[in-house]
Structure 1
Amino acid sequence: MQANQYNAELENWHDFEVESRKEIIGLLRSIGEKNQLIRMLVHGEADVCVTSILEVDADNNSVILDCSINPEQNQRVVGAKALSYETTLDKIRILFSSERVEKCTFEGAPAFKIPLPASLIRLQRREYYRMNTPVSNPVRAVIPLPAELGGGSSSFPLADISCGGIAILDNKLLLGDSIGKKYEDCRIDLPEVGTVVTSLQIRNMIDLTLLNNKSNRRLGCQFVDMPRGALNAVQRYITKLERERNARIAGLG
């Protein structure tokens, strides 16, 4: 996962943010005690380091992490301006970040030290589970456009779907730079399930360069005030996609 995608995901799940210092310390200590591996993503690079928590030092507001056996990778980590971390604890996904990493020693061995996070994201599987939608015959969202964008409506292919929202592809850049903007009465046609109507709020934007050098724009959209019946339809569609994917995997096995 690239850094900008990771940041977009953090923004997507701000509703699941934990800001209690006591709770953050407790979660990080549990992760360390259970020896859970942590993916450390160096921002700005396709560079992932696997680490673990050695100690949570509440008195000094710091967390001690294991460092890599690769000295060059350790140097890149220390030189990074920002890093993101991802792990799981009892099937709950934990995300946090830091602006810096310092070298230190722990029990006589080299280690990393980061500030105790001021907040982290805690997600249960049902809250973050998302499925890629078909590429060959894409699901589409029809979004009414306001007068300043020309009026009428336009259809956008989906990239993925979850119970929290969708990602759409805006290759013609029709929606512009619209982070935070809310679109009412959007229609999503879910094959074999039905049509759902909901408000969508644009939460993040990523500009992509495709292999043919054409550009595309991926917009992360959050469902807003979605009716329960529509949410149930989305869940049924995700289950359908998962069943089809499992059938394909079984066929290849």
Structure 2
Amino acid sequence: MYPHFQDAELENWHDFEIESRREIYALLRAIGEKNQLIRMLIQGEADVCVTSILDVDDAADAVYLDCSIDKEQNQRVLNSRRLSFETSLDKVRILFAAEQVEAATYEGNPAFKIALPPTLIRLQRREYYRISTPVTNPVRVLIPLPTELGGSTTFPLADISCGGIAILDNKMILGDTIGKNYDGCRIDLPEIGQVTTSLQVRNSLDLTLLNNKTNRRLGCEFVDIPRGMLAYVQRYITKLERERNARVAGLT
């Protein structure tokens, strides 16, 4: 779909394809309001133009883009059969494309106009990407423990990523031993399914709350998680991402 984004590092990114018109509109509006620069590439050319979003017209289903002071470059853009765009919003790479671009004016100045893209890709590094899990109805992980520690116990998650989870252990049941493994852990992901994997404690953080109670957060890494289980995790992250985008777009 985005032929010029062939760099090897794309293999290390987790992508979310967004098809909701309202989500796409909200994201492009935010890019424009933050004056984010956009790389614009003409299919078949190595030349990269830099542009920005001037306006997103919801009623006209159109996006207005700044054009270059170079008239020849502008003409090449207008003659192109396909344009690819790359920008970022809050450290997340955003990719979209346009099949056709028109010459237009915006507030009396020359501009480009494209249709609101039907889809948009958000890319974020897997190893850095973490998304908070719901607070009101928390996702829980069941960890098998010896009888002297109370047997199998469930713990609420603070966040989840393709690499692991953060657990809230407010009763200090698990201890804080870095490198300790817990086998046969089960995570129930709402509307997705149950994930079974081993977990290894990678970091521990104790926080003192305003009521003087201590809250322990354990960062745990998935160990030898089966590919099918990882697919569940990715689907759940995508679900949370879509719900968050919907809130941004004012749908919920």
> TM-score, length-normalised on structure 1?
0.49
Higher helix share: 1
> TM-score, length-normalised on structure 2?
0.50
- Asked which structure has the greater CA Rg, the reply is 2
